[in-house]
Amino acid sequence: MEVLRSFQDNLPAQDRLRVGLSQIAPIWLNRDETLKKIETETIRAAEEGCQLVTFGEALLPGYPFWLDRTGGARFNDPLQKEIHGLYLDQGVIIERGDLDPLCAIAKTHKIAIYLGVMERAPDRGGHTLYCSLVYIAETGEIGSVHRKLQPTYEERLVWGPGDGHGLRVHPLGPFTVGGLNCWENWMPLARASLYGQGENLHISVWPGGLSNTHDLPQVLAKEGRSYVIATSGLMRREDVPQDFPGAAEIIANSTEFLANGGSCLVAPDGSFVVPPQTDQEVLIAADIDMGKVREERQNFDPAGHYSRPDVTHLNVNRARLSTVKFEE
């Protein structure tokens, strides 16, 4: 796999953070094999000196690309039921320890991780998938699990809507890092909830597609006066397993790329540090400078001197939602 480097060794050590954007394809809907690939790429990023590595939305075990290629909205359809059952079976149960090997790698290599997973959540009965963005600290501990607030369009056929429990930020080197899944990056109030906690490095994760990342990351950077990482997955026709239910129909209704990447890194002034990378698996390793954040906050700080909480403010419910509450 190609490694694209953008290093700045002349930066003051106290202001520098080296980040990695891992644009890879899953071993589609195979949780164990995809996790092994993620583990390998995490170690690769650590060997490049990265203190943080990020992966695409729903990468573990994969995005539901079949929905708009096989008539996913057909009610009570046997094929859709079969695929859904497989998807659910391959979901990530964090409480079961599914991410423990990756947490161990984070601790050993002292690297933090943002990873998009399809979470099978026991606290919601264990039979619905949530598109979750998991933060693993460099200590190997899971810092937050953010369930996507609103699945987009056909995603609603296979994912449940999340809650605000994971709208949290984390200290990492000189930065404060937070993240959102795919199109919830378009949600102004979700972004504002992170700005208000001091976010200055924003992680946006995507299933893959230049159409998603060619403009929004620059908007987010200018609005937040923050660095913005946009990490995408990749999916090619040949990544569809031949024995996957409906494989022939999926392949027949797909171009060469079901998702062509588009990962990029944007500076707080809206300029590209690394422009969108497409059509290949790649590790982007780059240094970012906290000094640039301080400079850009001079004329705009969305939760500081350029806010009016006496006029407008945001209330956020960070409770983990459930259908039942037990009192013993």
**Spans of all domains in the chain:** 2-296
Are 271 and 290 in contact by the 8 Å Cβ rule? The answer is no
Do 232 and 56 contact (CB within 8 A), yes or no? yes
What count of other Cβ atoms lies within 10 Å of the Cβ of residue 304? 12
Measure the CA–CA gap between 162 and 173, rounded to whole angstroms.
Answer: 29
Whether the pLDDT of residue 73 is over 90: the answer is: yes
The helix or strand, by DSSP H or E, that contains position 20, with its residue range, turns out to be strand 16-23
In this prediction, residues 262-287 reach a mean pLDDT of: 98
| The one catalytic residue among 182, 199, 264, 296 | 182
**pLDDT single digits (tens) 89-137:** 999 999 999 999 999 999 999 999 999 999 999 999 999 999 999 999 9
Give the integer Cα–Cα distance in Å for 276 and 204: 13
Kindly state the average pLDDT of the residues 192-211.
Answer: 97
In contact, 8 and 287? CB cutoff 8 Å: yes
Contacts 24+ apart (CB under 8 A), 302-311: 302/192, 302/195, 302/223, 302/224, 302/225, 303/192, 303/195, 303/196, 303/198
Burial of 325 (0-12, 13-18, 19+ CB in 10 A): exposed
Cβ atoms of 193 and 202 closer than 8 Å: no
Which pLDDT score is estimated for 38? 98
302/314 Cα distance (integer angstroms): 13
- Measuring CA to CA, how many Å separate 269 from each of 273, 289, 307? 10, 12, 19
DSSP of 219-240: HHHHHHTSEEEEEE--EEGGGS
Contact 190, 181 (CB under 8 A): no
What is the distance between the alpha carbons of residues 17 and 241, in angstroms, rounded to a whole number?
A: 38
Is the predicted pLDDT of residue 1 greater than 90, yes or no?
no
Q: What is the mean pLDDT of the chain?
A: 97
- Among residues 24, 7, 27, which one has the least CA distance to residue 16? 7
pLDDT of residue 288: 98
Has residue 311 got a pLDDT over 90? yes
Alpha-helical segments (H) within the chain = 31-47, 78-89, 100-109, 188-195, 210-213, 216-224, 247-252, 290-296
CATH fourth-level superfamily of 2-296: Carbon-nitrogen hydrolase (3.60.110.10)
Considering the chain, what percentage of its residues have pLDDT values greater than 70?
A: 100
Q: Which of 148, 184, 222, 292 is catalytic?
A: 148
Q: 70 with 130: CB under 8 angstroms? A: no
**Active-site residue (options: 37, 50, 57, 184):** 57
Q: Is 182 designated active site?
A: yes
- For 9-15, what is the mean pLDDT? 94
pLDDT tens across 135-177, in order? 999 999 999 999 999 999 999 999 999 999 999 999 999 999 9
Q: What is the DSSP letter of 272?
A: E
List Cα–Cα distances, 241 to 37, 62, 78, 252, in angstroms. 16, 12, 19, 13
Length of the chain: 328
Decide: residue 23, CB within 10 A, 0-12 exposed, 13-18 middle, 19+ buried.
buried
